[in-house]
Amino acid sequence: MDDETIAELGDGDLQALVERGLSGVDEGRGVRLADVSLLAPLRRPGKLLAAAANYQDHVTETGGEPLDKSRLSPRLFLKPPTSIVGPGAVIPLPDVSHEIDWEAELAVVIGRTARDVTADEALDHVAGYMASNDVSARSMDYGFQRDTDDKAVWFFDWLAGKWCDGFAPLGPWLLSADAIGDPQAIPVRLDVNGVTKQLGSTRDMIFTVAELIAHASRLMTLEPGDVILTGTPSGVGAATGEYLRAGDEMTVDLGPLGTLRNTVA
């Protein structure tokens, strides 16, 4: 999909876009999926937003207290488009950290411009969904100290750990919203080298997909092609002190959204 010229899309529109792109292709000449290399469904979205601390079990495993969503708003941050890679891509371990972690997440792709929409209206602005992995550096080796009492320094250190190249795998494909139905009923699983580390469901989100979109649209105009990562369930490496090493393979499985595999090197 051409990220720069993406049209406004809603339920069912992705199929029409695919059919238009395949017009003139010989239907008798199939191409096996195993014979091609898939890229990220969107490689340069205008905005790549991510929700922090959006599953209570993840908050708890990292030492946080139970959250009362009636007294909170979603915690959103930005990741750069240069962090995006596709399925099968190798993620380079950065030299700024030796504690690289995984976070399996549902990714939402905006299909229609949204500004100040309500939660009831929000899903009408979704084009589709993807599997994603919010790869994160849990500490920095270039001068910032995680044990500092300076909250501003600590926060920047945490945020910088989200920005490295390759830290936002997306794919293997984008499935239209009408094919998914309820985005709060999607299983979320992540394995490292075949061992299950995360096993949850989007039903356990603190803020739903609709609530995340509505909140983001109060802060900024959401445009077609923008992506929102919606948070991760428990099972991250930071909870046990287990981190990725060269050669490890991460497998994110979001049921109907397919399996997203990436190795680190």
**pLDDT tens digits, one per residue of 100-114:** 999 999 999 999 999
- The model carries a pTM of 0.90
Q: How many residues does the chain have?
A: 265
User: Within 13 Å, how many C-alpha atoms sit on residue 180's CB side?
Assistant: 32
Region 129-150: what's the mean pLDDT? 80
Region 10-16: what's the mean pLDDT? 63
Written as one string, the DSSP assignment of 163-180 is: -STT-EEEEEEEEEHHHH
Region 236-260: what's the mean pLDDT? 97
Average pLDDT, the chain: 90
Phi, psi at residue 248, to the nearest 5°? Answer: -65, 145
62 phi-psi bin (left φ>0, alpha ψ -120 to 50, beta other)? alpha
Least confident of 63-67, 146-150, 162-166, 222-226: 146-150
| pLDDT given for residue 139 in this prediction | 87
Is the peptide bond prior to 172 cis by the omega test (within 30 degrees of 0)? yes
Tens digit of each residue's pLDDT (9 = 90 or more) over 152-193: 777 878 899 999 999 999 999 999 999 999 999 999 999 999
State the alpha helices, DSSP H only, in the chain.
13-21, 56-61, 119-122, 151-160, 177-180, 209-219
pLDDT over 70 (residue 194)? yes
DSSP state of 227: E
Q: What percent of the chain has pLDDT over 70?
A: 86
CA distance 137 to 94: 9
Which is more confident, 19 or 213? 213
| pLDDT given for residue 140 in this prediction | 83
pLDDT over 80 (residue 3)? no
pLDDT over 90 (residue 134)? yes
pLDDT over 90 (residue 19)? no
| pLDDT given for residue 102 in this prediction | 98
pLDDT over 90 (residue 29)? no
Query: CA Rg, the chain, in Å?
Result: 18
Tens digit of each residue's pLDDT (9 = 90 or more) over 32-58: 888 889 999 999 999 999 999 999 999
Region 61-67: what's the mean pLDDT? 81
Residue 24's pLDDT band (boundaries 50, 70, 90)? low
| pLDDT given for residue 12 in this prediction | 58
pLDDT over 90 (residue 253)? yes
